[in-house]
């Protein structure tokens, strides 16, 4: 459950009872929407609001006591609010979490001295003080908004997504399984820049993975359990049983590596050593992990994995990593997105089936390439995202936007879809001119706005939001 630290603004020469009723309203809205709340009570301060420096200190102490629970701070202004008290409370709490500012709207028949709120003006003052304090903050889409409205419900959903992305990435732990494929310098990344951003990478050599897998017996309970899970996950008709057992052993080893290092996702050296020296592709194993919101990226693409994980945090749905792969006839706003593939089962329109990896089968033999998922991505609106490290300028950068997977078919193999992107040629030019990778993460949730704010405002990354 996402939990907010709630600061109720108040100001002495405005109707203080508005703070009392406003506090009750906002807490009821949060409860109804399934969010937790940490807030001063009327026993702590007048109406549980923050006005004086003493109130700020009490609020900060309460937030610090619940620091492990608080994902973001919600400032609510039932009246003008004491802007400095709000800023002091946030500074003293020092939680370093996203902040949302909401202001109650005035009603035209309640504009007397006894009933007016002036939150419209007070919100500007609160923002001014937070800016002076160097505290980043988010806004509701409307300057003033009824907390019981659909508009504010959407604001809360967006803010909760921002909180999940920011807090998740600041403490993310990823696993790199194997070395970068020699030819794929496109997926180079700066581990030091990621570490500076709070993102850690644990690496393991493929030889260790193969060794641990080969030590497992075919009848091992964990192997048999994983084998049953694979066969229940997708159709394996025509796939040799020996290959399925190898996949099950690999899955057990991957799971243990993830558990031992408390990883949020993995990026795998998926070819060609895997096929030559172990005898399967890891695609099904990776697909199952992604479907469980433990995203797994191809070709040791750690920064591609970051995009996958960020969108999974924002939407609560599995992400996939794809290639911007082919033009779609002469339509400038469409393309074929493709991988060979390890896409999560939930992203396909019809349940995918297991196949062999057609691209490299000619080099290593069909018998060594079973395990890919074949199918068409379900037509859906989606968000796309690419994160990259820029060593030359010492920054992390990203581009993102929203698009649609159409219902058009392509005579191809692997996992694929036809994507339609507004002003697509401009995006493609931006990708090429700025040297971004050909991989892109996608997620069937519309979360581009939340990602942009999380990356730019709170994480300090450079962001291009296409079509914003």
In tens, the pLDDT along 16-39 reads 789 999 999 999 999 999 999 999
Whether pLDDT at 179 is above 90: yes
Torsion of the alpha carbons at 400, 405, 408 and 414, rounded to the nearest 10: 80
- Where does the chain hold its CATH 3.40.275.10 domain(s)? 173-465
CA 66 to chain centre: 24
Residue range 393-399: mean pLDDT, rounded: 97
Work out the percent of the chain whose per-residue pLDDT is above 70.
99
Distant-in-sequence, close-in-space partners of 155: CB < 8 Å, separation ≥ 6: 100, 102, 140, 141, 145
CB-based contacts of 456: which residues, under 8 Å, 6+ apart? 462, 463
pLDDT band at 114 (very low <50, low <70, confident <90, very high): low
Mean pLDDT of the chain: 96
356-358-363-369 Cα dihedral, nearest 10 degrees: -10
Return the beta strands (E) in 379-438 as ranges: 380-390, 395-405, 415-420
Question: Is the model's pLDDT at 113 over the cut of 80?
Answer: no
pLDDT band, residue 467 (cuts 50/70/90): very high
CATH topology of domain 173-465: L-fucose Isomerase; Chain A, domain 2 (3.40.275)
Strands 36-39 and 3-8 come out as parallel
Structural domain 3-170, CATH architecture: 3-Layer(aba) Sandwich (3.40)
Task: Report whether 463 contacts 397 (CB < 8 A).
Answer: yes
Cα–Cα dist 98/116, whole Å: 29
Tell me: the pLDDT tens digits for 118-139? 889 999 999 999 999 999 999 9
End-to-end CA distance of the chain, in Å? 30
CA separation for the pair 364, 273 (Å, rounded) = 10
Interval 402-433: pLDDT, tens: 999 999 999 999 999 999 999 999 999 999 99
The pLDDT tens digits of the residues spanning 203-256 come to 999 999 999 999 999 999 999 999 999 999 999 999 999 999 999 999 999 999
Per DSSP bridges, beta strands 415-420 and 331-339 are: antiparallel
pLDDT at 14 over 80: no
Structure confidence by residue, pLDDT tens digits, 156-174: 999 999 999 999 999 999 9
Asked if residue 42 lies in contact with residue 69, where contact means CB atoms within 8 angstroms, the answer is: no
**Residue 172: CB partners within 8 Å, gap ≥ 6?**
198, 199, 200, 264, 265, 306, 309
Instruction: Taking each helix axis as running N to C, give the angle between helix 241-261 and helix 283-291, from 0 to 180 degrees, rounded to the nearest 10.
Output: 50
Residue 153: per-residue pLDDT: 98
CB 100 within 8 A of CB 159: yes
pLDDT more than 90, % of the chain = 91
pLDDT at residue 80 above 90? no
Q: In angstroms, rounded to a whole number, what is the distance separating the alpha carbons of residues 312 and 444?
A: 9
Please list the residue range(s) of the chain that carry CATH number 3.40.50.10940.
3-170
Q: Any residues with CB less than 8 A from the CB of 340 and at least 6 apart, and which?
A: 283, 357, 358, 359, 372, 413, 414, 415
Supply the pTM of this predicted model.
Answer: 0.96
């Amino acid at each position: 459950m996402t939990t907010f630290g709630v600061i109720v603004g108040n100001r002495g020469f405005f109707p203080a009872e508005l703070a009392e009723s406003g506090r009750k309203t906002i807490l009821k809205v949060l409860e109804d929407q399934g969010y937790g709340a940490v807030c001063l009570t009327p026993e702590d301060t007048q109406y549980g609001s923050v006005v004086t420096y003493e109130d700020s200190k009490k609020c900060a102490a309460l937030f610090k006591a619940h620091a492990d629970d608080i994902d973001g701070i919600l400032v609510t202004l039932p009246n003008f609010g004491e802007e400095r008290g709000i800023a002091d409370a946030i500074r003293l709490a020092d939680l370093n979490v996203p902040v949302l500012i909401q202001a109650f709207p005035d009603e035209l028949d309640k504009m007397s001295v006894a009933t007016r709120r002036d939150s419209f003006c007070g919100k500007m003052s609160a923002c001014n003080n937070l800016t002076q304090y160097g505290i980043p903050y988010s806004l509701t889409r409307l300057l003033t908004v009824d907390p019981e409205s659909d508009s504010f419900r959407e604001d809360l959903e967006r803010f909760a997504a921002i909180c999940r992305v920011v807090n998740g990435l600041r403490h993310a732990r990823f696993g790199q399984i194997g070395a970068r494929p020699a030819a794929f310098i496109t997926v180079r990344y700066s581990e030091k820049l990621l570490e500076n951003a709070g993102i850690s990478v644990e690496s393991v050599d493929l030889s260790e993975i193969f060794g641990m897998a080969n030590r497992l017996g075919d009848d091992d309970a964990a192997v048999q359990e994983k084998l049953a899970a694979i066969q229940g996950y997708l159709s394996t008709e025509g796939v040799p049983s020996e290959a399925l057992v190898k996949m099950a052993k690999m899955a057990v080893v991957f799971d243990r590596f993830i558990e031992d290092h408390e990883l949020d996702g993995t990026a795998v050296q998926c070819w060609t050593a895997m096929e030559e020296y172990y005898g399967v592709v890891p695609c099904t194993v990776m697909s199952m992990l992604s479907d469980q919101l433990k995203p797994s990226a191809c070709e040791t693409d750690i920064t591609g994995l970051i995009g996958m994980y960020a969108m999974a945090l924002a939407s609560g749905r599995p992400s996939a990593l794809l290639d911007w792969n082919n033009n779609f006839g002469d339509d400038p706003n469409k393309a074929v997105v493709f991988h060979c593939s390890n896409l999560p089962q939930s992203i396909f329109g019809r349940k995918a089936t297991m196949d062999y990896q057609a691209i490299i089968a000619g080099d290593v033999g069909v018998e060594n390439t079973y395990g890919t998922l074949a199918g068409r991505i379900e037509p859906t609106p989606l968000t796309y995202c690419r994160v990259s490290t820029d060593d030359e300028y010492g920054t992390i950068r990203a581009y993102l936007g929203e698009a649609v997977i159409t219902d058009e078919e392509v005579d191809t193999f692997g996992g694929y879809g036809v994507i339609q992107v507004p002003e697509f040629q401009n995006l493609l030019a931006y990708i090429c001119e700025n040297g971004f990778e050909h991989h892109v993460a996608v997620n069937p949730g519309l979360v581009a706005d939340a990602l942009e704010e999380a990356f730019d405002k709170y994480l300090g990354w450079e962001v291009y939001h296409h079509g914003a």
